[in-house]
Amino acid sequence: MQGFLVNPVGAPPNVAPGQVIPPTGTGGWGRDCAPGIRGTGLNADTQNDILGNMLRILQVANVQPTPNRFDDLLDALRVIFQASSAYHAITPNDFGAAGDRITDDTSAVIKAYKAAAASGKELLLTNWYRCTSQVQFELASVATTGVRIIGIGRQNCGLVFDNNVAAPNLLITSESKAAFYPEYVGWGVKGNVAGVVLQVGDEGLKDEINELTLDLVVNNGSNSPDSCAVEMNGVFNPKVRLVANCGGSGYGDALRLRQTQFGVFEGSFGNAGNCIHLTGGYSVGNKFDGLDMEMAACAIAIDSRTAVHNTWIGGTIANVLNGVNATAGSSNMLVNPNIGIPFANLVASAVGFTVDIPDVSLLGTPAVPLSGAQYTNSSGQRQFVNLIGGTVSAVQMNGAVIAKSTDVGFMLNPGASVTLAYTSPPAWVFTPLSG
């Protein structure tokens, strides 16, 4: 068997004759096997011990042993190796990347991505890879199966782009097709460009990228007003956890959303003009959970009329000039955040935006307007208004008469307007409402 000329030897106690797998104990068949001594002959017991272990390898590999054929062992080892390597992740190092931040690894990164997409294997980033030109991860070839790019830590590996590489430095695109399940986890992207460092989706909103998972650190060192760390276009149902920064407070957007829907966002955003900027396209039904928004001119900026039903829950707003600047949109809301700025600076504009912070008034009680003059609640906070005294002939809410006397109370929603007609001015008291 297997090239061993072995005399018949009885099975050891508690071992069935012909058993292939060696029993537990001191290895193989032979219970009396001991470390070899120089000059010791290879007796039948030792040969059986070796044979048993070889047969075990063949059994694991499902290779049928053939008498007097030693190549069976090589075949078995080859099968085992191929089985383990079938799930081996691809790395840029496999294609010649140095990963030293000095060598140009652009070509190796692109080749590794294409190989991973073609084979269905993971792309594993283990170093920081210098890129001297734009890198594109296309999803059209993996539109239904997805692709997974992982790293060994968000600050331990990733892509480093030379200054002023064409924007976007890293482009993830489905090439005008619907694509599903891309995952990018555990690495970073660093660039310095008056534009976007990481762009997901075509700016023409032709892509449909679904079920995206994004867990990265992205830095754009540029202090240009056009700088942006991460921009998302045509992305649906994403799960996003980011640390995203630009080149300093007042410059660009940390996270820019254009037609992004039904997503969940977590992380830290700052060192920018806007921490979060909703602009262009239909950005609908997104939840921003516990964000850290700091070091910016504005925490939340909305200038798209089709940005609707987006909700920020908890988190913190600190070290910004303004918390919310919503000049367009509808049914957007900020709920119970920690505030590290003066409340007077929390809301610069609240078009279609509600701020819900229990027991905190963002408005106080404003002066009663002149008779016939319109007052608009621009605080972003729902207010209950008590009207007291004076001689009032009409109270109009958004143009409709709701009362014709004084001593009434009414709710004034964000963006709603009230007009008083009176001959003797009343007093009023504003109380913020929660919920």
Q: How does pLDDT run across 56-110, given as a tens digit for each residue? A: 777 777 777 776 666 777 777 776 666 555 567 899 999 999 999 999 999 999 9
Cβ contacts of residue 274 below 8 Å, gap of 6+?
252, 253, 254, 256, 296, 297, 298, 299, 300, 301
Q: Are 317 and 337 in contact (CB under 8 A)?
A: yes
Span 37-56, average pLDDT: 64
> What pLDDT, in 10s, does the model give residues 124-149?
999 999 999 999 999 999 999 999 99
Q: What are the distances in angstroms from CA 253 to CA 4, 169, 271, 275, 300?
A: 73, 15, 9, 6, 10
The answer to whether 100 and 89 have CB atoms below 8 angstroms apart is no
Asked whether the predicted pLDDT for residue 52 surpasses 80, the reply is no
pLDDT at 48: 66
What is the model's pLDDT at position 85?
56
pLDDT of 20 reads 45
The angle subtended at Cα 12 by Cα 27 and Cα 41, nearest 5°, is 65
Q: How far apart are CA 188 and CA 334, in angstroms?
A: 29
What's the pTM? 0.74
Q: What angle do CA 161, 280, 198 make, to 5 degrees?
A: 15
Q: Which pLDDT belongs to residue 13? A: 52
166-204: per-residue pLDDT in tens?
A: 999 999 999 888 999 999 999 999 999 999 999 999 999
Tokens of 8: 């018949």
Residue holding tokens 């999803």? 139
Residue-wise over 269-286: b if at least 16 C-beta within 10 A, else e? Answer: bbbbbbbbbbbbbbbbeb
Cα(153)–Cα(81) distance, integer angstroms: 28
Q: Which residues contact 20 (CB under 8 A, 6 or more apart)?
A: 52, 55, 56, 59
Per-residue pLDDT of 326-352, as tens digits, reads: 999 999 999 999 988 877 688 889 899
Confidence bin at 259 (pLDDT 50/70/90): very high
Confirm or reject CATH 2.160.20.10 for domain 87-356, answering yes or no.
yes
Could you tell me the residue ranges of all domains in the chain?
47-84, 87-356, 373-432
pLDDT at 309 over 50: yes
Residue 33 has pLDDT above 60, yes or no: no
Is the pLDDT reported for residue 1 higher than 90?
Answer: no
